[in-house]
Amino acid sequence: MSFLAELKRRKVFRVGVVYAATAFVIIQAADIMLPSLGVPAWALSLIVVMVILGFPVALVLGWALELTPDGIKRTESVPAAQTGHGPAPALLGKRTVLASALLVAVGVGIGAGWFLRPAAESSRESTPVASADPLAVVETPVTSPETQSIAVLAFADLSPDRDQEYFGDGIAEEILNALVRLPGLRVAGRTSAFYFKGRNEDLRTIGATLGVAHILEGSVRKQGERLRITAQLIRSEDGFHLWSATYDGTDADIFALQERIAREVTRELQVALGTGEDQRLVNAGTENPDAYALYLRATDIFNRRDAERYEEAIAATREALRLDSGYARAHSRLATLYFLWSAVAVPERYEALTTEAARQARSALELDPSLAEPHAVLAMLLQADRRYADSADAMQRALEIDPNDLTALFWRASNHCLVGTIELCERELDHVLMLDPLLPNALGWRARLYISAGDLATAERMIERSREAGLRWAGVSAGWIALERGDRATAQAQWEEVHRIFGAGLTPEAAMTLAAARAGDEQAQERSRAMIDDYLATSPARINGLVPLTLISIGDVERGLEVFAAHPTPNEALFLSEVMGTRWYPDAWTSPAFPAFLRKTGIAEYWDRFGAPERCRKDASGDYQCQ
């Protein structure tokens, strides 16, 4: 008898087919059931490996053994009536043997998962949630990912002209904003998730870096009005695709497509929506696709804090409002853009820009009182007017509406620095960076605090990351690190670059002169004093914040405090973030001019209501004295 005929007689081919079919069913069932049993995800991988390894074993068993009424026997000893020339019981016997083998494989996998689970859980529990290094969450995972956690990566632009990057970013951000509102689902911050755009990183690395169990990635292809969106939901631990879909449509379908993607993702993650099926997850705020596209273009500039393009963003948003005058989110974004522009424009434009910012914020709230962003803008405008207590109330209203609004959370943290409550500022900045470890402004502010506390190494890593993320004023901190290390030339170069960004209203040579003065050049300090005298003699309605900051830094502490208290600035943070928000200027806090400075700027009133820093106490006259 030929070998092939013998394989057929012993039903080895049938054994292989039965084994493969049964294995497929078992693996699919395990994939569904194991998570609900609390078994670690790697147990499924172990089952798959064991089933594969068991396949050749099953073929050998199929060749050699048969389950008979008298027990398991070698095939050769089984009568012909019970083997290849007899009816089906022989195959049934082989199936029974194979099923037993498969169940053993499954049992070993599940048992290993249960047996090792306590050790794994113990390891997770012993791993600190927070790290002494705030960048640890970016560089290495500090905890195992939660099952219901996700990062939404920027959608790749596959359009023929590669000119739809802002559109892909906007779609991904809208889906992210919808998911972040769902109870029980942790969503990685936008800046951190978008950091990986174009880097071609392995998805498992991204998941481990962001500490998420799932990743949503996709692409956008737009040609004329035709639109194709693809999306894939991936388990980050092993790269397994849980769900993928392709959607074709036109610009007018964008809102429905975003809603479908968000809902299908939540279903796959088994997250309770907490809403009726008729309530939308993704609310673009308009039904006009052209207005929406313009809003996304402006939002891209806002997210980058690209000050040179603020006018372009404002023009795009105004065109969106021309197309849809009831577009509340466009009014809100316009308010934010006007406020940000006021901080870098020439002081003469400050009043007009902030007035328009307030008007747009109120228009947005009239159309949609549920928006958080307009309240946050109004809070920042109050802070700019030195009404710190009122600003805190307005910011609290914004966060009551949307506790996850990272811009509002960052602004609240930075405002604590402006009024000198440094420890609270540190804690809230750490919270912001826990939610979005690569938020550029938060990295920049936190780096300054680390420098002033003497931790230059951590600050330096933060500065590097903030620059990678697009922070333009990172030279503020880099200059201080250089100065701490005795490198005055580098400190001057770093500060000169920053002064050019924030030097609106000053002469062209002021950036270099003031930077050299702050770096310790005595001749530049004398020139700076003369330059400042000439500048103040013009009686500007609002002065550039670099003026009093330079006076403080070159030792003219009392004059610097008095100049700032007497003159509002278009960018209060330029001065207060360093003098009040760091530990760099202890002489300012102990200066005889400090109590009057606190009263005139409104900081004393804020301390009266919310509490003063621990090192400050009221004296018999009611003034705050600080150590």
Q: What SS3 class is residue 292? A: helix
Both tokens assigned to 239: 């790269």
266 with 145, same domain: the answer is: yes
149 with 21, same domain: the answer is: no
Residue 223, domain member (yes or no): yes
Residue 257: predicted pLDDT: 79
| Residues of the domain holding 94 | 3-126
- Determine how many CB atoms are found less than 10 A away from the CB of residue 625: 16
122 with 140, same domain: the answer is: no
Residue 551 scores a pLDDT above 90:
yes
Q: Taking residues 421-442, what's their average pLDDT?
A: 91
98 with 12, same domain: the answer is: yes
What are 580-604's pLDDT values in tens digits?
Answer: 999 999 999 999 999 999 999 999 9
Task: Give the residue from 284, 314, 332 where a domain finishes.
Answer: 284
189 with 217, same domain: the answer is: yes
Using 50, 70 and 90 to split pLDDT, how confident is the model at 545? very high
Residue 426, domain member (yes or no): no
CA–CA gap between residue 361 and residue 136 (Å, rounded): 37
Residue 79, domain member (yes or no): yes
121 with 143, same domain: the answer is: no
Range in 69-83, 359-373, 384-398, 564-578 the model is least confident about: 69-83
Using 50, 70 and 90 to split pLDDT, how confident is the model at 2? low
For every residue of 413-460, DSSP letters joined together read HHHHHHTT-HHHHHHHHHHHHHH-TT-HHHHHHHHHHHHHTT-HHHHH
Residue 120, domain member (yes or no): yes
32 with 119, same domain: the answer is: yes
CA–CA gap between residue 190 and residue 345 (Å, rounded): 28
206 with 257, same domain: the answer is: yes
207 with 265, same domain: the answer is: yes
For 510, list phi and psi in degrees, rounded to 5: -65, -40
Task: Give the residue from 284, 304, 339 where a domain finishes.
Answer: 284
112 with 161, same domain: the answer is: no
Highest-pLDDT range among 35-49, 60-74, 424-438: 424-438
Average pLDDT, the chain: 81
Asked whether the CA dihedral 422, 426, 427, 431 is positive or negative, the reply is positive
Q: For 589-615, give the secondary structure using H, E and C.
A: HCCCCHHHHHHHHCHHHHHHHHCCCCC
Task: Give the residue from 249, 284, 319 where a domain finishes.
Answer: 284
CATH number of the domain encompassing residue 255 = 3.40.50.10610
Asked if 213 and 150 touch (Cβ cutoff 8 Å), the reply is yes
Residue 325: predicted pLDDT: 94
Total length of the chain: 627
145 with 255, same domain: the answer is: yes
Distances (CA, A) of 170 to 198, 207, 254: 16, 21, 11
Cα 610-613-616 angle, rounded to 5 deg: 115
Residue 422: predicted pLDDT: 95
Token pair 């670690």: residue = 40
> How many domains does one find in the chain?
2
Q: What SS3 class is residue 237? A: coil
Residue 120: predicted pLDDT: 36
Residue 321, domain member (yes or no): no
Q: What SS3 class is residue 234? A: strand
Burial class (CB in 10 A: 0-12, 13-18, 19+), 15: buried
120 with 148, same domain: the answer is: no
Integer-rounded Cα radius of gyration of the chain: 32
Residue 338 scores a pLDDT above 90:
yes
For residues 230 and 73, the model is more confident at 230
- Give every CB contact of residue 82 below 8 A, 6+ residues apart in sequence: 66, 68, 89, 90
Asked if 545 and 574 touch (Cβ cutoff 8 Å), the reply is yes
Residue 436, domain member (yes or no): no
What is the separation of C-alpha 112 from the centre of its chain, rounded to a whole number of angstroms? 36
Asked if 94 and 62 touch (Cβ cutoff 8 Å), the reply is yes
Query: What is the maximum span of the chain, computed from C-alpha positions, in angstroms?
Result: 116
Using 50, 70 and 90 to split pLDDT, how confident is the model at 307? confident
Using 50, 70 and 90 to split pLDDT, how confident is the model at 538? very high
Asked if 596 and 564 touch (Cβ cutoff 8 Å), the reply is no
Token pair 């609900």: residue = 36
Q: For 553-592, give the secondary structure using H, E and C.
A: HCCCHHHHHHHHHHCCCCCHHHHHHHHCCCCCCHHHHCCC
- Determine how many CB atoms are found less than 10 A away from the CB of residue 275: 11
Residue 468, domain member (yes or no): no
What are 155-212's pLDDT values in tens digits?
Answer: 888 888 888 888 788 888 888 887 887 777 888 888 788 888 877 788 888 888 888 8
Residue 36: predicted pLDDT: 42
Q: What SS3 class is residue 216? A: strand
Residue 192, domain member (yes or no): yes
Using 50, 70 and 90 to split pLDDT, how confident is the model at 60? low
